[in-house]
Amino acid sequence: MDKEQARFILRSFRPDGADAADQDFAEALKLALENRELGEWLAHERAFDAAFAHALGSIDLPGHLREDILACLAVERGDFPQAEDSADAAWIGALASIQPPANLRADVLAAMDRTLVQTPVAKGKISIFRRAAIPLAAAAGIALAFLITRPANPTATAQTSRIPIDVVQAGFIRTFESPTFDLEEKNPEHLTLIQHLKDKALPSPSCLPPGLGNVAGLGCRELLIDGKRGSLICFNRGDEGLVHMVIFRREDLEGTFPDMTHPEFARNGEWSSARWQHGDNVFLLMENAKTEKLAALFSQG
């Protein structure tokens, strides 16, 4: 092993000494002890890593920093996935609405640990290079499993059980906040948007809250949440922002709902919502604003 190979290996040496017994690290550390230049480099490297880790640990990061960075990078590269047809659009919306189980990461790591314990290694320890490949192989296997089990038709995953309105609300928020969000039909005319939904055999409104009657439409699209097909109509209130109407069939949702004259209001983070039932459909009106501002839409003439 020469100095450059030793540098390459020692760059990933963990500060807690957990790698000291590894054959590759042991050889590199021995060379660092024997070579003054390499030893000074290692001491400087570890001091820098410790200072950098301490500096990072003292920073209070925003909750959505990761998503914001990825979205900005995608915008600069222009690599948003584009739906080429309605099937692509359905899959993009469905994937955006998926909420992984809270313990998924821990379960996957636990399964990997059990596999490593139960599978003997034929020749000594796993080298640093093979060890680095294990998480990549596991990730590839999980991705392949999703692809293999994906049904040919997105609607084939439809469940017979009903889903809570809170699941619909969370699914809409994830879909709307996704970098890939888009509308299928864009038009200010309400009737044009409603007809688009009817043509796709999706639930559509027969009447609107009084305050939306003169508000221009922005667009509409299908929402696929937990296998249930619903609709989304977006309204543009100009300087006051956007209002989103989510519509699902009554038979697909749990619970009971009031009529439009007495909607049920709720708050979820920065989002306000109003819920009601009309005919065979359940409506969820969403706005990123205070509840009082949303409630005014039901009292205007």
Q: Where are the domains of the chain?
A: 3-57, 158-298
End-to-end CA distance of the chain: 82
CB 96 within 8 A of CB 223: no
Res 218: pLDDT: 94
Which residues is 222 bridged to in the sheet? Answer: 231
Q: What is the dihedral of CA 193, 195, 196, 200, to 10 degrees?
A: 140
Mean pLDDT of each 10-residue bin along the chain, 301 residues long? 82 71 80 83 81 79 74 59 63 67 73 60 51 52 48 46 89 88 93 95 93 92 92 92 95 92 88 93 92 85 52
Pick the CATH number of 158-298 from 3.40.1170.10, 3.30.200.100, 1.25.40.340, 3.60.110.10: 3.30.200.100
Res 152: pLDDT: 46
Res 149: pLDDT: 45
Cα gap 197→186, rounded to integer Å: 12
User: β-strands 242-249, 216-225: how paired?
Assistant: unpaired
Count of positions (residues) in the chain: 301
Res 180: pLDDT: 85
Cα gap 156→167, rounded to integer Å: 19
Amino acid at 2: D
Helix and strand totals (H; E) in the chain? 10, 6
Amino acid at 216: A
- The encoded tokens of residue 117 equal 């314990």
